[in-house]
Amino acid sequence: MKARLFQFLTSPFCAKVRKILDYKGVDYETLEVDYLERKELLTASGQIMVPALTLESGETIVDSDRIAMRLEEMYPEPTIFPPGQRGLHLALARYIDTAVEDALFRLAVPGELEYFRRQGAEREAMWRLIRERKYGESFVDRMGRELEANWKIASAILAPFEEQLGAGFGAFLTGRIGLADFSLYGQLHLADFTGELKLPESMPNLRAFYGRMDRITSAPEPPL
């Protein structure tokens, strides 16, 4: 039996896990969770959040960081921690999955609205309810109106990554691919899940990085 990844297409953390699975060559299938009907996810994981990964053994892990660490234990090569860089990648990934996520998530709201609207009024209403319960009344519509301002914030957050990737140090953030790259790929997926990469042309290094990561199906370099 293949491993099974319970996911939402729009989730950056699910994108992060998918790419780690691809990188490590794990045979898996994705199960797109219905936004209203989460019975199978609940049965497998005991909760209703994604990502959740059920391994061939029947073990189910939730949370992208826990999944990444469990996969690293089970499939140590190719590693997501280049030699001597474990702490650096953990710190970078934590920043990317919080500060960068907060900026890019707000940019993605208009696209998410259209995505769930196409799935019907009930799913749109549930998605909107969850967003506005957490971020306040009218949050969804406000993100549409504030798109230009949110792009300015996101551009400032992404600028150091654009600079680093253009510094000639290598194709990845620290020279060799690692956990931080998978986290950044996941967050950039928020600008791509609609099928059209919305990163501006003024960020050519990030656009190229995303394309490289997106094409990964196995380790791009042999482990040391």
Q: Which CATH number fits domain 3-74: 3.30.460.20, 3.40.50.300, 3.40.30.10, 2.30.30.30?
A: 3.40.30.10
Q: Which CATH number fits domain 86-214: 1.20.120.1200, 1.20.1050.10, 3.20.130.10, 3.50.50.60?
A: 1.20.1050.10
| pTM reported for the whole predicted model | 0.95
pLDDT of res. 202: 96
Ranges in the chain annotated CATH 3.40.30.10? 3-74
Give the separation between CA 179 and CA 90, rounded to whole angstroms: 7
pLDDT of res. 1: 74
Give the separation between CA 103 and CA 136, rounded to whole angstroms: 17
Here the tokens at position 104 are 């890019």
pLDDT of res. 223: 43
pLDDT of res. 220: 52
Enumerate the β-bridge partners of residue 54: 4, 60
Q: Which residues of 185-199 are buried (b: 16+ CB within 10 A; e: fewer)?
A: bbbbbbbbbbeebeb
Give the separation between CA 44 and CA 6, rounded to whole angstroms: 9
Q: pLDDT tens for the chain, 224 residues: list them.
A: 799 999 999 999 999 999 999 999 999 999 999 999 999 999 999 999 999 999 999 999 999 999 999 999 999 999 999 999 999 999 999 999 999 999 999 999 999 999 999 999 999 999 999 999 999 999 999 999 999 999 999 999 999 999 999 999 899 999 999 999 999 999 999 999 998 999 999 999 999 999 999 999 865 554 44
pLDDT of res. 217: 85
pLDDT of res. 222: 45
Ranges in the chain annotated CATH 1.20.1050.10? 86-214
Here the tokens at position 143 are 């993100």
Give the separation between CA 19 and CA 183, rounded to whole angstroms: 9
pLDDT of res. 150: 97
Host H or E run for residue 62: strand 60-62
- CB distance 209 to 216 below 8 Å: no
Give the separation between CA 174 and CA 85, rounded to whole angstroms: 8
89 CB neighbour count, 10 Å cutoff: 22
101 CB neighbour count, 10 Å cutoff: 19
Which residues does 204 contact at the CB level (< 8 Å), separation at least 6? Answer: 166
pLDDT of res. 224: 41
SS3 49: coil
